[in-house]
Homo-oligomer: A and B are copies of this chain.
């Protein structure tokens, strides 16, 4: 079929799957650690273990970015770090505003992983006048009256909402009106935004409830399997792991052996 003179540089395609995008930061973190230890190359197997995924998935993910590995050898760590950074848009600087400087907002402001990767806290904003001017994590808090001005002057496109749920939608509306197009929401509420604005949410309560669900199921399994075993047999086999962990076999977590891979995605 020959190389059909594709005019386009045929860069990574127009559509990296969302699931892949969500894992790129994981790979990047693992690669950065390797880079700091001056490891030159890494195989898909090793990197996958470090990132907590399986190697087939990792290779498939990388295949969406392009052919950045060398068969029989592995991946060049530095090169991959750069490529993934670029793909994620981390080679540029993203100014971020945090709105709501309570306990959580303060914690976020002081979070190291923030500044380390392309993100810069452009401003901390709170509605409480008593907070204004007070330095949090070395940055003086500004009053929310200034919100629009800050966003426009600094060209902020990413906002973090750490306010109480009751005011989150108002804050969101103001952020969007001022030009923010990506929002990370820590308030336990559903935000509605116009088309073209991305919202991601982080909700402690939801995560705990999901854990509780599984926890409850574990407890139920022990006491279960009595009367209606026959009825459930087929279903249970599909859901429960094939090896019932009676004594759990010690539960080893090998540093570089088998990977547990427990994340339910």
Chain B residues near A232 (CB, 8 Å)? 9, 11, 14
Contact of A252 among B9, B67, B194 (CB under 8 A): B194
- Chain B hits for A51, CB < 8 A: 190
Instruction: Enumerate chain B residues within 8 angstroms of A181, measured Cβ to Cβ.
Output: 215, 218
Contact B245 A67 (CB under 8 A): yes
Check if A192 sits within 8 Å of B244, measured CB to CB.
no
Complexed CA–CA distance, A196 and B218 (Å): 8
Which residue on chain B has the smallest CB distance to residue A192?
B253
Q: Would A211 and B230 count as touching, CB distance under 8 A?
A: no
Residue of B nearest to A189 (CB): B29
Contact segment of A18-26, A34-42, A125-133, A144-152: A18-26
Flag whether A138 is at the interface (Cβ < 8 A). Answer: no
B25 contacts A210, C-beta separation under 8 Å? yes
Q: Cα distance A236–B233 when bound, in Å?
A: 54
Q: Which residue of B lies closest to A67 (CB)?
A: B245
A249 to B4, CA, bound (A): 11
Contact B211 A182 (CB under 8 A): yes
Per-residue contact bits, chain A 253-265, to B (CB 8 Å; 1 contact, 0 not): 1000001101111
User: Which B residues touch A171, using CB under 8 A?
Assistant: none
Query: Which residues of A1-57 have CB atoms within 8 Å of chain B's CB atoms?
Result: 1, 3-6, 8-11, 14-15, 18, 21-22, 24-26, 28-30, 50-52
Residues of chain B within 8 A (CB-CB) of A192 are 52, 253, 259-260
